[in-house]
Structure 1
Amino acid sequence: MRQTWRWFGPRDVATIDDMLQSGVEGVVSALHHVRPGAVWTPGEIARRQREIATRRDGGPSGLAWEVVESLPVSEDVKRQSGEWRAHVEAWTTSLGHLADAGIRVVCYNFMPVLDWTRTALHHPLPHGGTCLRFDWIDFVAFDLHVLERPGAHDDYSDADREAAAARHAAMPEETRRAVAQAVTAGLPGDAETMGLADVRAHLERYAAIGPDRLRANLVAFLEMVTPAAERLGMRLCCHPDDPPFPLLGLPRILSTEDDFRRVLDAVDSPANGMTLCSGSLGARRDNDVPGIMRRLGGRVHFLHLRNVRRESDAASGSVRGSFHESEHLDGDVDMVALVAAALDEEAARRAAGRGDAEIPFRPDHGHDILTDIGRGAQPGYPIAGRMRGLAELRGVVRALAHPAATGRA
């Protein structure tokens, strides 16, 4: 398993030197300043590679840009509207430029309007640090009483509506603004945050698009770009929905194992794969994350290893509910079992002679602890918190691969 680290570019509070000191082997990055639908030019790609390859003192870092996260798919492509065909062509051209630069793994997502969604970006923890959190009632209160989305009333139970009304009435205005800001934070690394009017306008454009149509649009997109990816030796890997259940009336199509299996079977190519994000999938109690790795592992091209603690009552039977980002080894996802499944998949790939036997992973998200507090890092991407997560994961990998555990001398 190859240890990588997400870097948002020169404006990231984490530096190349920080990554080196954390012990990572490769870097995950993107050109966040290039708008969706535009071509990633060779010059811009080369500039990011030079930034990653150079330490603060000007010397070589020894690190390289190994995984793209993400090459954004425009809303026009997701809806098949406007200039979507030109955007697909630009996306394919960007793949070629990335391949020419030696980058072979490209993560993307197909979530409408919003990327990962939380209601609190700095939820206080007992140890004095903070984490990302999704509070279901806060979210319902936002949808019903702040966004005031048409038709939202019918998406929630009587109990949820009553709880949300009481929660909203008791919220100070500052808290209401903080929840709205967290929900509408947009894409991590993106330069802009959407306002309520922007969200309402985007939602209106998806009013006639349900899950079947969105899935068909994803398959059509993959049918257009996968042949190029095959020729270039690229590995495309779609990220799961986060959270893995419908929000704001928008369709979700990559929330479960069955969802991924349908898309992988529809475009049955080694170039069409998945990013297995343990935290995203783990927020649903009906997702067996280590089992997904064992059953779909041959198509897993990238791993996001993070953990979540589900807070909602299991007796409710609902897959929707509150959760917070937990420590990497202390949540509802059996991280040791997941890493064991990944190591077994790597062994199977080596035995089959596959060139992609080593699966890149990164410690995803992390608590704001120690020097992270007040530093102003991208939400979910602190230095010390991710470094702690990486150290824990590295220890699990090393222990499971040790002869004392494997029985091999």
Structure 2
Amino acid sequence: MQQSWRWFGPKDTVSIPDMRQAGVTGVVSALHHIPNGVVWSDEEIKRRQQQIEQQPNGAPTSLVWNVVESLPVSENIKQQTSDWRAQIENYKQSIRNLAAAGVPVICYNFMPVLDWTRTNLGYELPNGARCMRFDVVDFAIFDIFVLARDGASDDFPAEVVQQAKTRRDTMTDTDLDALMQNVICGLPGAEEGYSLDDLRAHLRAYDGIDAERLRQHQIDFLAEVVPVAEEVGARLCCHPDDPPFALLGLPRIMSTEADYTRLMAAVDSPANGITLCSGSLGVRADNDLPGMMRRLGSRVHFVHLRNVCRETDGLPNSFHEAAHLEGVTDMVELIAAVLDEEKRRAAEGRTDCNIPFRPDHGQDILSDLGKNSQPGYPAVGRLKGLAELRGIIEALSHPRSAA
């Protein structure tokens, strides 16, 4: 398993020297400054590679840009509106340019409007650590009372709606504004400023697009870009919905094993693959992560290892992000399944038998506390997670002598 680390570019509070000290070899990055739908040029790709692979004095860092996370699919492509066909052509060119630069794995998602959603970005745990949390009652407050979306109350169980009404009466305007900012943080472009009216406009653009239509749009997209990926030796891998259930009346189509099985069959190519995110998928009790890895592993090109604690039953449900070896996913069994898949690929002679993974997210602990790092991406919390995952990999991989 190729140990990797996500990096948001030169503005990231975690630096290249930090990653070198963490002992990773791969860097997961993206060109976040380029608008969605625009070609990633050779020059921009090479600039990011140089930032990752060379120290200021020109000496090598020993790091490589091994995974793109992510090459965004524009809302126009998801909706099939405006100049979506031209934007698909741009996407194809970006794939070609990345492959030419030696960046073979391209993660993307097909979530409408939202990239991820949490209601609390610094939830304090009993031990003093902080983590990201999704509270379904708080989200109902946002949806029903802050956003005031038509029909929002119908999308939550009656008891959640009642709890939301009761809790709303105890909240100040400052509390409601903080909740709004936390939810909006997961919207693409939120760092440049995003208003409720912006969000309402984006939601209206999905009027008439249900889950089946969105699935077909994803298949149409992949039918265009997967042949290009095959041609240049790139591997596309779709990230699951985060969280894996419907929000804000929007369709969500990559939340379960059945969703992935359907998509792999619809565009049946090794270049059409999966980002197996144990944190996103683990929010649902009906997702068996080790089993998914064993059944779908031949198409898994990238793995996110993190854990969650489910706080309520049913869907939608509340959860918070647990330490990597805590929570609902059996991380030992999941890593064992990944290692078995790597052995199977090696036996087949596949060149992609070293599957990249990263310790996804991390709790804010120790010197992380009080720092303004990207939500979910502190240095020490992720390093702790990486150390724990590295220990499992070493233990499972270590040859044992016969007793």
**Aligned pairs (5 A) from 1:2-401:** 2-55=2-55, 59-187=59-187, 191-313=191-313, 318-401=314-397
- Equivalents in 2 of 1:55, 1:19: separation in Å? 12
- Provide runs of 4+ in structure 1 moved above 6 Å: none
User: What TM-score, normalized by structure 2, do the two folds share?
Assistant: 0.98
Structure 2, unmatched stretches of 5+, are none
Is residue 33–residue 190 contact of structure 1 (8 Å, CA) maintained in 2?
A: no
Q: Which amino acid aligns with 1:260?
A: Y
Q: Give the Cα separation in 1 of the matches to 2:224 and 2:302.
A: 22
What is the CA deviation profile of residues 228-282 of structure 1, one whole-angstrom value per residue up to 9, with x for unaligned ones?
0000000000000000000000001000000010011000000000100000000
Q: Residues 189 and 250 from structure 1, CA distance in 2 versus in 1: closer, same or farther, beyond 3 angstroms? A: closer
Change (3 A) 1:408 1:183: farther
Which of 56-65 and 186-195 deviates more? Answer: 186-195
Separation of aligned partners in 2, 1:155 and 1:375: 36
Count residues in correspondence.
403
Distance in 2, matches of 1:268 and 1:351, equals 22
Distance 1:227 1:408, change over 3 A: farther
What is the CA–CA distance in structure 2 between the aligned matches of 1:49 and 1:277, rounded to whole Å?
25
| Larger CA deviation: 192-201 vs 119-128 | 192-201
Report the CA distance between 1:383 and its aligned residue: 0.4
Evaluate the alpha carbon distance shift between residue 120 and residue 12 of structure 1 in structure 2; reply closer, same or farther with a 3 A threshold. same
Judge conservation of contact 2:303–2:357 (CA < 8 Å) in 1: yes
| Cα offset, 1:126, TM superposition | 1.6
* CA distances 1:29-74 after superposition (whole Å, capped 9, x unpaired): 0000000000000000000001001236653211111100000000
Residues in 2 aligned to 1:49 and 1:190: alpha-carbon distance in whole angstroms? 26
**Corresponding letter in the other structure for 1:119:** T
1:402 and 2:361 aligned: no
1:383 is aligned with what amino acid?
A
Q: Secondary structure of 1:67's partner? A: strand
Shift of 1:408: 7.8
Q: Say whether the 8 Å CA contact 1:2–1:25 is kept in structure 2.
A: yes
TM-score using structure 1 length: 0.96
- For 1:189 and 1:327, the matched residues in 2 are separated by 28
Matched-pair contact (CA < 8 Å) for 2:185–2:191: no
SS at match of 1:61: coil
Q: Which runs of 5+ in 1 are unaligned?
A: none
Determine the C-alpha separation between the residues in 1 that align with 2:192 and 2:374.
13
Pairwise CA distance, 1:117: 0.5
Q: Report the Cα offset of residue 207 of structure 1.
A: 1.4
Aligned counterparts of 1:136 and 1:319: Cα–Cα separation in 2: 9
SS in 2 for 1:170: coil
Amino acid at match of 1:253: I
Q: Deviations over 1:328-353 (max 9, x none)?
A: 00110111100000000000000000
CA shift at 1:193, angstroms? 4.3
Q: Structure 2: how far apart are the matches of 1:122 and 1:60? A: 36
SS of the counterpart of 1:153?
A: helix
Single out whichever of 163-172 and 302-311 deviates more from structure 2: 163-172
Shift of 1:400: 0.6
Does the C-alpha gap of structure 1 residues 408 and 270 become closer, same or farther in structure 2, counting only changes over 3 Å? farther
**AA aligned opposite 1:91:** Y
